[in-house]
Every structure is written in C-alpha cells, then in structure tokens.
A = this chain, B = another copy of it.
Amino acid sequence: MGRVEQRLQELGLQLPGEAMLPPGVTTPFKWVRVRGNRAYVSGHGALAADGTPLGPFGKVPSQVSLEEAQASSRSALLAMLASLKRAVGALDNIAAWLMVYGNINADPGYPQTTLVVNPASELLVDLYGPEAGAHARTAIGMAALPLDLPVILAAEVELAA
C-alpha cells in the first residue's frame, strides 16, 4: 500500500466507487484526462461509497449549512482521488498537486466560499505533505452545479515520470 493510501486508512477514510449518475445523465468526457506528465481532473462532487451522488443538495448556506458544505468538499476530494487512482494506478503516482478549482453552489453574495473549500485543501496537504500537496486554488460561488451538488472540485496535477 502506498503512502497516501496508508494515510487515508489511518484517517479512517475510504474512496468511493466510480460515479453512478442518474438515468439519462451521460458523461462523454474523461473523469481524469492523462497526457504526458499531467492529469486534468473533471469536476467531481461528493459520492457515497457505492458511487451515487451524496447529499445534502442545494444552495450554501440557505439549504446546505457551511459545516455540511465543508464535509461535501472533503468528499469531493475523495471522489477526485478515487478517479485519479483508477486513471494512474496508485495515488503515490501524483508527484505534485498544481491547481484545485473550488466551485460552491452559493447563495448570491455568500462571502464564505473560502471556508467551504478549506477542509479539502487541508486534507490534501495532510495526505500528500507540504511539498507534493501544495496547490493553488480558487473557491468561488456558482449559480448552479451539476445535480444541485453543493460543491464541485476540479484539478490539475503533475504525475511522476
């Protein structure tokens, strides 16, 4: 078991199964696009263990509390890690995180989008350490997100040679 997966186990965290979306929602794109030493990660939301979208759903904070959105943000990171593992074989094959795009299904003018994404950033640095896990980031509020999920994360990472 690799270092990152060991740390996930220590934290009692499990990666979800591949996304199982509602009937009629097709995905004519790659969850992870690998090319050379780069992987581009599509927008991921929280998934339950069986890969079904994980609620609560709706706007932050009127329908989904800050605390719930923070948990959703961590779950979205785990969903990205699950897709990356399927795409590149082992989570330790990620040499460096580069950019994380944090998208929050926010009420107009909600000023706390930074706080929503912080638990995902903190978990990322915990898992990969301060060198490989360092990343630039956005954390911005959207009018709408797929399936009305409260948080969608996307990313770009560098792969080991």
Query: What is the count of identical protomers in the complex?
Result: 3
**Would you call B28 and A122 a contact (CB within 8 A)?**
yes
Interface bits A12-53 vs B (CB < 8 Å: 1, else 0): 000000000100111111111101101011110000000000
**A30 proximity list for chain B (CB < 8 A):** 134-137
* Known contacts A33-B99, A100-B29, A121-B28; A140/B111 CB under 8 A: no
Least CB distance, A31 to chain B, in whole angstroms: 7
A interface residues (Cβ-Cβ under 8 A, vs B): 21, 24-33, 35-36, 38, 40-43, 58-59, 96-101, 103-115, 118, 121-122, 125, 134-148, 152, 154, 156, 158
Least CB distance, A44 to chain B, in whole angstroms: 10
Q: How far is the CA of A59 from the CA of B136 in the complex (A)?
A: 25
**Would you call B29 and A110 a contact (CB within 8 A)?**
no
Least CB distance, A9 to chain B, in whole angstroms: 22
Q: How far is the CA of A24 from the CA of B115 in the complex (A)?
A: 9
**Would you call A139 and B99 a contact (CB within 8 A)?**
no
Q: How far is the CA of A105 from the CA of B125 in the complex (A)?
A: 29
**Would you call B146 and A43 a contact (CB within 8 A)?**
no
**A-B contacts besides A30-B137, A32-B136, 15 pairs, CB < 8 Å:** A28-B121, A29-B121, A29-B136, A31-B136, A33-B135, A40-B99, A43-B138, A58-B109, A59-B108, A103-B140, A111-B147, A113-B144, A136-B154, A138-B152, A140-B142
